[in-house]
Structure 1
């Protein structure tokens, strides 16, 4: 039998150390469980499929200074030059780059503005009939754009009439598995959904609408133009080295900049998440180590304070296992109180983080697993001091003051 009452009485005579350890365990559980939950959520996001062959795609910018230049003609010439490079699968002038954290967003709705209707926020990109192939996407339902679908925005009143959307956007507006052939409204402009892509992240993949994307067959040219190029696997680096020289050969009165892989753009967009994960991992390790050292230190201190008591018990015939069990039970009591307080604190902290920073709700499984690991760690931390106490010689202990 563990004789809990004498153990509790002994703890009440030396409350300060026990209270400090209880607080340390509670704080550790509250912070670690929430940190692990956030790390798990970020890991899920970082490993999520975007739909694009990121390692085979790169982008670059072209800034023209020639005011007399026919910009539309130059864009078409640039696209043809890019598609003629060995190793290039396709290329397109694009309004913004997916996964980059920058671009255009808006809402698609079921009725034209200003009428009230169901709507969904999404990110969109524009380009010609080569855009889907350049992005490495394919429609699971419907068809791709053709040349007749593409509208050039200039002085005319022409507006696009068709759109390709992601499955997430279609399901949000029309229900699961529906949407092909339906009409949605981009502002007051009706767009017929001619194709649906199963997985297509937009420019902000970690946002609440990161999977809702639309591609609009529209060209709006300007002095500053973005280009996207998809190469055969393994050919991207070689092609990227040729871009600046090729573009300047076509037209020298320009600056070519930011030749960057799509995977690199996403890595920059995700840099804060990766840094946060590393900081949280470091925090977890520090807290766990400090807590383990605290348990070890308190147990060692208690043993040094009770040397005479332990020696007396040994002299009266107490077994070594009884001494070890005493300190293990004492530690288990402290841990139980600390982990109960920590569980309540973890739930409260999780609710505040969800309210302040829009992190996912803390799952109770994280609290249970973290508490179990802390309990095991606590018992292991007290084991060495307890074994040392059990080996105290009765004769030495009874002579100590």
Structure 2
């Protein structure tokens, strides 16, 4: 039976290589476990549902230069024109585009701003009664905005009296679930909650409350105006190609900018996270590959250094399995020490990332899975050179050095 003590003593006699490999395994365990945790968190973030039919929606901005125009009237005509295009389901003016990274937010409370304490952060869209249909969002409770409740104005001297809230926001404001018909305050302006919608995201997916959203029936056409259009999914690309010509034909003293589908806007918003995700995957692959090569190299080095010793053992009757087990146990000792040190370091690194960068707390399962994976890789890396050692001929022991 193979004893641990002779193997341990052998490692102490040539400790430089073993120590370097131990440090490498520890670093790999520490970094890979934390990187895997971040990757899983980013995958969850990138795959979250926005609530919108992203493949049906596109948006663009209009910069108007004709100062003689009545912008409110002209944009009403533009909305009607867009809705009459074959394949368009609905269209409307908005103050912000969902999941684009640019928009407006406020604090909604149960008392006026000068009286209330803590409020609920919410993104808000200002649009008309077509907003829900344009965004492809359904009501859970209550009713939609009526046309007579929409305020059209260049100033906020007159403000709407009603509002739509997402279910998440309504439950945060009214945990008992009786939000419908209640009043919330936008600054000092009271708004009656007439409808509660299903989930939809605000302009910022990284917001602390990304699905706290309010829709306020207010349209203030401006010289720089955002328009959102919802189409049949199979006709969106064709309509997007035509939209600039259609808009300029309707009014040639304006410029169309920022034309993109909602899925493209979301992809652009998440570009940095996607890049980070790919970089972390590459980092994990590189670290595991380098560790495997390190284990392989150290084993080959030890075999070359102990060739005569192995031949002598074979001449004395040692089986091939005993030679293989020797190197496997030697590797497991180093790997166990390395993963133990790396696991402790991973916990400290995870806590530091939590404190300084507000990343999710490291789940111990990521360390466990990383340790198991590193051990499996280390065993696979040592099998081939160990088999090579087992095949050394006993006649090697009789050769002179």
Contact 1:37 1:362 in 2 (8 A): yes
SS of the residue corresponding to residue 233 of structure 2 reads coil
Corresponding position of 1:210: 210
Corresponding position of 1:393: 393
- Output the CA distance in 1 between the equivalents of 2:245 and 2:298: 69
- Output the CA distance in 2 between the equivalents of 1:332 and 1:194: 66
- Equivalent residues in 2 for 1:354-365 (5 A)? 354-365=354-365
Corresponding position of 2:230: 230
Corresponding position of 1:113: 113
Deviation string, structure 1 residues 358-380 (Cα, Å, up to 9, x no partner): 22111111111111011011011
**Structure 2 residues not aligned, in runs of 5+:** none
Corresponding position of 1:70: 70
**1:233 shift after superposition:** 2.2
Corresponding position of 1:183: 183
Tell me: CA distance 1:268–1:316, structure 2 relative to 1, closer, same or farther (3 Å). same
1:282 aligns with 2:282: yes
**1:357 shift after superposition:** 2.0
**Aligned length in residues:** 401
- Equivalent residues in 2 for 1:152-163 (5 A)? 152-154=152-154, 157-163=157-163
Normalised to the residue count of structure 1, the TM-score between the two structures is 0.97
**1:9 shift after superposition:** 0.7
Deviation string, structure 1 residues 199-227 (Cα, Å, up to 9, x no partner): 11110113221121111111112111110
Corresponding position of 1:347: 347
**1:142 shift after superposition:** 1.1
My pick for the range that moved more, 323-332 or 28-37, is: 28-37
Corresponding position of 1:244: 244
**1:98 shift after superposition:** 0.3
- Output the CA distance in 2 between the equivalents of 1:179 and 1:299: 68
My pick for the range that moved more, 269-278 or 162-171, is: 162-171
**1:135 shift after superposition:** 0.3
Corresponding position of 2:96: 96
Deviation string, structure 1 residues 138-197 (Cα, Å, up to 9, x no partner): 111111111122112335721121111112212222226442222211111111211112
- Output the CA distance in 1 between the equivalents of 2:114 and 2:85: 47
**1:315 shift after superposition:** 1.5
Contact 2:307 2:396 in 1 (8 A): no
SS of the residue corresponding to residue 260 of structure 1 reads strand
Normalised to the residue count of structure 2, the TM-score between the two structures is 0.97
SS of the residue corresponding to residue 42 of structure 1 reads helix
**1:88 shift after superposition:** 0.5
Corresponding position of 2:373: 373
**1:115 shift after superposition:** 2.1
**1:248 shift after superposition:** 1.6
**Structure 1 residues not aligned, in runs of 5+:** none
Contact 1:110 1:117 in 2 (8 A): no
1:39 aligns with 2:34: no
My pick for the range that moved more, 204-213 or 7-16, is: 204-213
1:297 aligns with 2:297: yes
Tell me: CA distance 1:45–1:156, structure 2 relative to 1, closer, same or farther (3 Å). closer
Backbone CA RMSD of aligned residues:
1.4
**1:94 shift after superposition:** 0.5
SS of the residue corresponding to residue 139 of structure 2 reads coil
- Output the CA distance in 2 between the equivalents of 1:93 and 1:170: 25
**1:287 shift after superposition:** 0.6
